[in-house]
């Protein structure tokens, strides 16, 4: 698969690539991010901190070009390096890091299939702490249009049949049956969107399903050649759907960065409930 690397592959390539832990805490958890282990040689890719927009009121908002470029250089990443991103839950926030790199024009980035749980299951080497890079890299950020979209772009597309929004949250959050994990949020979903919980991307072993299985998920939802928008709670697991769609060859893809953290706030933005 073009966007994924196996733990077995990474174990053979550890000295030749940059490994980044892109794990985050789940919404509603106030404790700092402390993984159960760190993959040997990994550096920290802090989605919720160093790599989020400090001026934004919403969580995990994409930072600007200068901030991303400076952070990647501090991690010692060069223009022609290969980057592997992972998280501590198997696949939760790693695809967000992958999408962020892609949005900045960097192509040699891959998600570790199975993440830290798979790495530990295989008994592969871990470290006591993250690597602190001494050498500054020459990474150059080249922002790409429409990787991230805002609420106005989503609102404008609700009645557009050439655009389909897929929601990565759980089915019961989508229908409005379950409350949101963040305070003071409305329940339900964006009108005319469809539910595709991100867990459906994974098989029973916690690995990403085959391309044919992923394609079947999209086809079942009526996806043909529409432009696809992806939403979730805060723009993180939406990127799992974007990665799966890219794996299947869909090309008109955009992640709603604010996602339900923005849309679900008390406002005039329309909300639907039920299936």
Q: Catalytic residue numbers?
A: 232
Q: Which ranges of 47-190 does DSSP label H, i.e. alpha helix?
A: 65-74, 94-103, 115-121, 151-157, 171-175
Integer angstrom CA distances of residue 105 from 14, 54, 97, 108, 193: 24, 22, 13, 10, 28
How far apart (Å, rounded) are the C-alpha atoms in residues 241 and 92?
Answer: 11
Phi, psi dihedrals of residue 234, rounded to the nearest 5°: -140, 30
How far apart (Å, rounded) are the C-alpha atoms in residues 108 and 250?
Answer: 19
How many Cβ atoms from other residues are within 10 Å of residue 93's Cβ? 29
CA-based max dimension of the chain: 53
Strands 253-256 and 227-231: parallel
How far apart (Å, rounded) are the C-alpha atoms in residues 2 and 106?
Answer: 14
How far apart (Å, rounded) are the C-alpha atoms in residues 196 and 99?
Answer: 18
183 DSSP assignment? T
Integer angstrom CA distances of residue 232 from 39, 65, 187, 195: 28, 23, 13, 10
């Amino acid at each position: 698969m073009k966007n994924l690397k196996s733990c077995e592959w990474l174990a053979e390539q550890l000295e030749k690539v940059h490994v980044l832990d892109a794990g985050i805490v789940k919404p509603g958890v106030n404790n700092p991010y402390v993984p159960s282990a760190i993959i040997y040689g990994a550096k920290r890719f802090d989605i919720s901190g160093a790599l989020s927009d400090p001026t934004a009121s919403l969580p995990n908002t994409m930072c600007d070009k200068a901030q991303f470029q400076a952070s990647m250089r501090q991690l010692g990443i060069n223009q022609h390096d290969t980057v592997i991103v992972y998280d501590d839950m198997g696949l939760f926030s790693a695809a967000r890091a992958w999408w962020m790199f892609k949005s900045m024009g960097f192509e040699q980035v891959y998600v570790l299939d199975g993440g830290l749980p798979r790495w530990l299951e295989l008994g592969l080497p871990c470290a006591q702490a993250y690597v602190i890079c001494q050498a500054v890299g020459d990474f150059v950020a080249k922002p790409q249009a429409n990787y991230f979209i805002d609420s106005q772009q989503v609102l404008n597309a609700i009645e557009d049949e050439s655009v389909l929004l897929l929601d990565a949250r759980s089915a019961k959050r989508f229908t409005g049956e379950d409350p949101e994990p963040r305070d003071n949020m409305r329940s339900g979903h964006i009108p005319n969107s469809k539910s595709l919980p991100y867990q459906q991307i994974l098989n029973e072993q916690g690995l990403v399903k085959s391309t044919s299985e992923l394609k079947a998920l999209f086809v079942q939802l009526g996806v043909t050649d529409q432009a696809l928008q992806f939403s979730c709670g805060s723009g993180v697991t939406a990127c799992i759907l974007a990665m799966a769609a890219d794996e299947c060859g869909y090309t008109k893809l955009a992640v709603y960065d604010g996602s339900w953290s923005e849309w679900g706030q008390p406002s005039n933005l329309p909300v639907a409930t039920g299936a």
